[in-house]
Amino acid sequence: MTLLAAVQNALPRFRPNHPSAPANTFVFGLVASDESPFSVIVSPLEARVTSVMRDADYLIYGTSAQLASLFDPAHPDRAGVVAQIDMRPDYPFNNYLLSILLNALDLHIPDLDYVPKRMTGFFPFPQRYPVAENPFRLRHYASTPVPTHEPQRLPELIMDDHPEWVTMYDYAWQLAFKNLRQPEPESGFVANFIDPAFNSNTYLWDSCFMMQFGRYARRLCDFMGTLDNFYAKQHDDGFICREINTYEGNDLYHPLDPRSTGPNIFAWAEWLNYQHGGDLDRLRAVFPALVGYHRWWKDWRTHPDGGYWTSGWGSGMDNQTRVPRSEFHHRHYTWVDATLQQALNAQVLLAIAKQIGRDEFDDELASELAHLTRLINERLWDDVSGFYYDRAPDGRLSGVKSIGAYWALLCDDIPRAKTDRMIAHLDDPATFNRPHRVPTTPYEAPDYNPYGGYWLGAVWSPTNYMLLRGLTARGYHDLAHVIARNHVENVARVFTETGTLWENYSPEYPQPGRPAGRDFVGWTGVSAITIPLEYLIGVQALDAGTRVVWDIRLMGRHGVNRYPLGQSNCIDLLCEPLGHYAARLSVRTQQQVHLCVNFSERIHAFDLTPGEHTFLLT
C-alpha cells in the first residue's frame, strides 16, 4: 500500500470537535524518497490530504513503508517506527507534535505524548517552502569510484602557435583530477566532489566557479556532484552555509553570522551548466533548493528598502575596503554585488522556471527583480563617475569601485547606457586597465596593492570569468577577447616560470599575487581551461547544447576535439587560417547541431547533420 493510500484509509477515523482533535490547525508535510510529497491538514473540524506543500508547518521524513506504518493501527510496533523517521524542524518536542497528528486520527501511540528529546543546541528556524522538495536532502552516498585523469576522454585543446597554453591546460586537468575525492563516511555528503584544496573545508564560492571548467569533463566525471553536497546540507529554512567541513559535514558558521553564506550564484552556475548539457531533469531537481536559498536571502539579508547586505567574507572578496571594517560585518551598507547577484538570481530562476514549466514563483520573483532593478539604478548609481557603488546607512555612496559591480553586466534589466559607461572603465589605466587585467580593486583606490594584497588589487579567475561572461552578454566581444588573452598570457607566463597555477596574480607584475596559494587549480582552472576554450578558441555552447557559437580570432591553427555538447553529442572543431580574410574549417559532429561562426566581421550560420563537414570562409 502506498503512503497516500494509507493516509486516506486513516482519514475516516477523524472525529470533528472530539477531545482528540487538535485545538488549532496543523499542517504536516509527508516526504518519502519513493513517493511524491503531500500534506495532511488536521484542525478541530476536519482532517484532509492536499498535494500542496507550501503551508506545511512540520515535515516528516522516511520511506513510504515507514510512514505508512504510522497510519496503520494494526502495525505491531508503531512506536519503533517513530524512532526511525525524521521530523523537521528538529524541535525537542517533535514527539508531541507527531502525537497531535496521530491522535487526531485516533492512532494514539502510548508514551509518545510529551516525551521531549534533550535539547542540545539552538531551536531551529521553521521550515521554508519549497525546501521540503529538495531531493538532495533525502539522498545517501552510493560508493562510486573516483575517476582518474584520462586525457583521451577530455576535450583536446589545439593551439599550434601557443604550446604553453596547451601545456598549462593539460596541467590544470591533472591537478583537478588529483583533487577529486569521495565523501567521508560521517560527512553526510551525497556525491563525489572536487576539493578546493585550500584547507579541510569546501567552499560555496569556489565550487560554483570550479563547475565552470568541470562541465567540460562531464563525459568522464560529474563535477556537479560538488554542488549536490551543498544542496544536501540545506537547512529547513533554506539556508546553505558557504563553508562546510569535508570530514564531519559541519557548517562553520551560524546562519545569522554576516559571514555565514554567499555569494548566491548557485542558480547562475546551474544555468550555465544547462546551456552546455541540456539536463532538464537536473534543473527540476535543483529548483526547490535554489528557490529556498533565494527566499532565505530575502528573509535574512535585506534592509527595509529591499537592498541586500553581506560582508567581506560573505561576498567572497574578503578584505576589500570599499565598505569600512567589513571583513566580518555588513556595517549596515547596501552591498552592490550582493544586490546585483540577487537580481541576477531572480532573473535566472525565472528562466529555469520557464524551462521546467513551474510558474508558481513567477510573480514573486518578477516583482523582486523589478524592485531591485529600480533600487540599483536609483540608489547605487553615481552618474558623475558612471559606476555602481555600495551605499552607506546615511545614503552616501562609498565612492570606491570594485570589480563586484560588474555583476550588473549579467542583469538583463540594467540599462545599456549605464553598463556602457561602466565598461569604459575597463580600458582606463587609472582604474582597471593594468598590465595584468583585471584587478579586483582599481588602480585609483587608496588601498590598491600592486602586488595583489589578496582582494586589494589582485587578479582572480572567478571575477575575470564573471566579467567576461558579462561582456559577452552585452555584446562587447572584441573587448572580451582582448581581456581574456591578456589574462591567459599572464597566467601562462607565471605558469612557465613557476611550473604551477596560483590562487591569484599581481596586477602590475608577471608574478603570483602576494599572498597566493600555489598548485591552485581551484577556480584558477577557469583561467587555464575555460577561458582558453570560450574566449581564445572562442567556442561557446548555447540552448541546452543544440547551438554552438564559434568566434574565430586567432591566426594560427587552432580548435578543440571531443568538445561535449548536450547529453550525448561530441564535436571536433578545427580552424586553419589562410591569411587574415580566409580560413578552412573542419567540423565533425555526432548529432545535428546549429553552428554560428563569427569570422572577419561576418556571421556564417550552418545547420550541421551528423558527420564531417568542411567550409572555406572568405
Q: What is the DSSP string of 112-170?
A: -TT-PPPP-SPPPPPP-TTGGG-GGGG--PPP-PPPPP-GGGSPEEEETT-HHHHHHHH
Nearest 10 degrees: Cα torsion 285, 286, 292, 295: -130
Cβ atoms 517, 498 nearer than 8 A? no
Please count the residues of the chain: 618
The pLDDT of 111-139, averaged and rounded, is: 83
Q: Does 416 or 113 have the greater pLDDT score?
A: 416
The pLDDT of 600-617, averaged and rounded, is: 95
Q: What is the pLDDT of residue 248?
A: 96
Q: How many helices (H) and strands (E) does the chain have?
A: 17, 20
Q: What is the pLDDT of residue 117?
A: 65
Which residue type does 121 have? Answer: G
Q: What is the pLDDT of residue 61?
A: 94
Does residue 86 surpass a pLDDT of 70?
A: yes
Q: What is the pLDDT of residue 111?
A: 79
54-83 pLDDT, tens digit per residue, is: 999 999 999 999 999 999 999 999 999 999
Say how far apart CA 612 and CA 618 lie, in whole Å: 20
Does residue 1 surpass a pLDDT of 90?
A: no
Does residue 119 surpass a pLDDT of 90?
A: no
Q: What is the pLDDT of residue 110?
A: 86
Q: What is the pLDDT of residue 170?
A: 98
How many CB atoms neighbour CB 546 within 10 A?
A: 16
Q: What is the mean pLDDT of the chain?
A: 96
The pLDDT of 589-610, averaged and rounded, is: 96
Does residue 115 surpass a pLDDT of 80?
A: no
Q: What is the pLDDT of residue 120?
A: 65
Q: What is the pLDDT of residue 116?
A: 64
- How far CA 390 is from CA of 265, 290, 375, in Å, comes to 19, 25, 12
Q: What is the pLDDT of residue 518?
A: 95
Cβ atoms 214, 234 nearer than 8 A? no
- Structural domains in the chain, sorted by start: 3-124 (3.30.1050.10), 542-617 (no CATH)
The pLDDT of 577-596, averaged and rounded, is: 94
Q: Long-range contacts: 119-124, Cβ < 8 Å, 24+?
A: 119/92, 122/254, 123/89, 123/91, 124/88, 124/89, 124/90, 124/91, 124/235, 124/236, 124/237
Does residue 198 surpass a pLDDT of 90?
A: no
Confidence bin at 422 (pLDDT 50/70/90): very high
- Reduce the DSSP state of residue 31 to 3 states and report it: strand
Task: Give me the residue label for grid cell 570599499.
Answer: 322
Q: What are phi and psi of 562, to 5 degrees?
A: 60, 40
Q: Does 197 or 430 have the greater pLDDT score?
A: 430
Confidence bin at 617 (pLDDT 50/70/90): very high
The pLDDT of 285-291, averaged and rounded, is: 98
Which alpha helices (DSSP H) does 503-600 contain, by range? 525, 531
Does residue 2 surpass a pLDDT of 80?
A: yes
460-519 pLDDT, tens digit per residue, is: 999 999 999 999 999 999 999 999 999 999 999 999 999 999 999 999 999 999 999 999
Does residue 114 surpass a pLDDT of 70?
A: no
Strands 58-62 and 26-32: what pairing? Answer: parallel
Cβ neighbors of 370 (< 8 A, separation 6 or more) are 413
Q: What is the pLDDT of residue 78?
A: 93
202-211 pLDDT, tens digit per residue, is: 999 999 999 9
* pTM exceeding the 0.85 threshold for the entire prediction: yes
Residue percentage of the chain with pLDDT more than 90: 94
